[in-house]
Structure 1
């Protein structure tokens, strides 16, 4: 499956509209068997098809009645940060309704795009869009910031809707707020947040947050890992979690993980990266040997032909000259963290 969007149609008119949308959106079209064309993926049960395909696509467009769609997707909805976008289009193509994941999933944008493609009126009901104010979840997404506790978004957006400015503690100046000066103001003192209705912290460091303060994590840290052969994922994860915990680092700010290419078939390392949701990148010994590490190892040089793996991999990923968290060892695993410059 290469398409990111699925379109579903239940009627003859709906099939025509689905074909039009599938061509313009480069989407897969699922059409009830009796109305399906050669280019469609036919189905006999919408309920079974949605159950099978809901988690496989980033967006779903239903040319159907809203009530039917709600009943079909309800069992599979989890959270606004993971649910795919869902848009409902009537078979006449008059309206495109953003139903689920309007902001983070992109359903609002998709409804507008469908409107442009077929002349439908986008129907968008998220409060910030209706009021013409920004939403902190979209700001975070657009600036590549990971949202901490997604349930706190509502407090920030409610303040925007009430015309109140929200304090932002951002020691590294990561969040670009110049375009949102009517909604945010920067503070240098973390304590200010506890005195405010709500607030935002933008940092790769962990903080004990006051109530209604939302953490946004910049994707600025890289993780280097080395291990002996056959080490299981849980042993690798144990050291990683110990390193971030002991150094006050937010795991959500780590954006990638690296090691030497001699470990590219190491099942435990691959599984650990998957569990953490990190891209795992391997470097050759020659690439890692270009990096001057803080803690060279004669043993690693003997077996791998480099002065170090974890520090060099972390620094290579970050394009950094210095290590943020030097090599930390357990019995069979090493880990280090660097910060992008």
Structure 2
């Protein structure tokens, strides 16, 4: 689609969204302001107890790459509370400057997800960790950008508000 777009009198800001990126056009004191912003995405991550930071990072990079995303697009790493207390998860979040969100199994179990697992439910008390954590931490109107993917035993899902 092509054409001209004019900001008329009284219009102060126009936001054009494409995927997870947004283009912001604004008028400020008679000048046109152009900026590119990024919506902060939420990673939901599930893994076995004691998974090292290097393995978590490798899986996360792989999944983000599949979606055409980078670590800079992410603002939050969410997981079940027992994993959030582990060194590997804390190291990954700190290394990337991401907020680490710990969620109780009961809160995760209350989330509707497209790929629930009886095996995960038996192991940790919720049928989903990655998808449920991503959706819960992203907020009320969250949607999955990428459903769960499993890489090297680490399950990763991506959500946006």
Distance 2:32 2:43 in 1: 34
Change (3 A) 1:230 1:323: same
Aligned length: 144
Shift of 1:230: 1.3
1:262 to 66, 82, 86: 82
SS at match of 1:324: strand
Residue of structure 1 in register with 2:145 after alignment: 324
Shift, 1:250, TM fit:
3.4
Alpha-carbon distance, 1:248 to partner: 0.7
SS of residue matched to 1:175: strand
Look up the match of 1:334.
155
Taking structure 2 as the reference length, the TM-score comes to 0.79
Within 2, Cα distance between the matches of 1:180 and 1:335?
Answer: 45
Deviation at 1:176, TM superposition (A): 6.1
- Structure 1 outlier segments of 4+, above 4 Å: none
Deviation, 1:180, is: 6.3
- Aligned partners of 2:106 and 2:83: how far apart in 1? 15
Matched residue, 1:184: 33
Specify the alignment match of 2:47 in structure 1: 227
Residues 56-77 of structure 1: CA distance to partner in whole angstroms, max 9, x if unpaired?
A: xxxxxxxxxxxxxxxxxxxxxx
Seen in structure 2, the aligned counterparts of structure 1 residues 288 and 176 have a Cα distance that, compared at 3 Å, is farther
* Root-mean-square deviation (Å): 2.2
Structure 1 gaps of 5+ residues are 1-167, 186-199, 203-215
Q: Name whichever structure is richer in helix by fraction.
A: 1
| Whole-Å separation in 2 of the counterparts to 1:237 and 1:184 | 36
Matched, 1:310 2:130: yes
